[in-house]
Amino acid sequence: MSDAFVRVCGLGELEEDTPKRVELDGTPVSVVKTEGEVFAINDVCSHANVSLSEGEVDDCHIECWLHGSRFDLRSGKPDSLPATRPVPVYPVKIEGDDVLVSLTQES
């Protein structure tokens, strides 16, 4: 994985609380603008192999549409079952209107 930040979209392309799925070096990533911030989280639920970007965003969490697990966009940690494992979150930088993401996992 690269430490380099890559432009994934324009800030104006993100709708509040509406996940946008992008792919970086073959890794599916969900980019979410919510509560005045932009987050990037791996787009695959850790419980079932489904896209988190198809779920709903509320209170800085994204909910898996299939079984209802909710993941914190800041940490990737699940706060409801059936998921028990976190999903990776990635650093985001905003430069002008560009949203940049690095696949380096945040700790």
pLDDT in tens, 23-39: 999 999 999 999 999 99
Those residues whose C-beta lies under 8 Å from the C-beta of residue 40, and which sit 6 or more positions away, are 8, 29, 30, 31, 32, 89, 90, 91, 92, 101
Q: 20 - beta bridge partners?
A: 31
The stretch 36-44 carries a mean pLDDT of 97
Q: How far apart are CA 76 and CA 51, in angstroms?
A: 14
Pick the residue with more confidence: 41 or 2?
41
Q: Which tens digit of pLDDT belongs to each residue from 45-94?
A: 999 999 999 999 999 999 999 999 999 999 999 999 999 999 999 999 99
Phi, psi of 12 (to 5 degrees): -70, -15
Tokens of 68: 């209802």
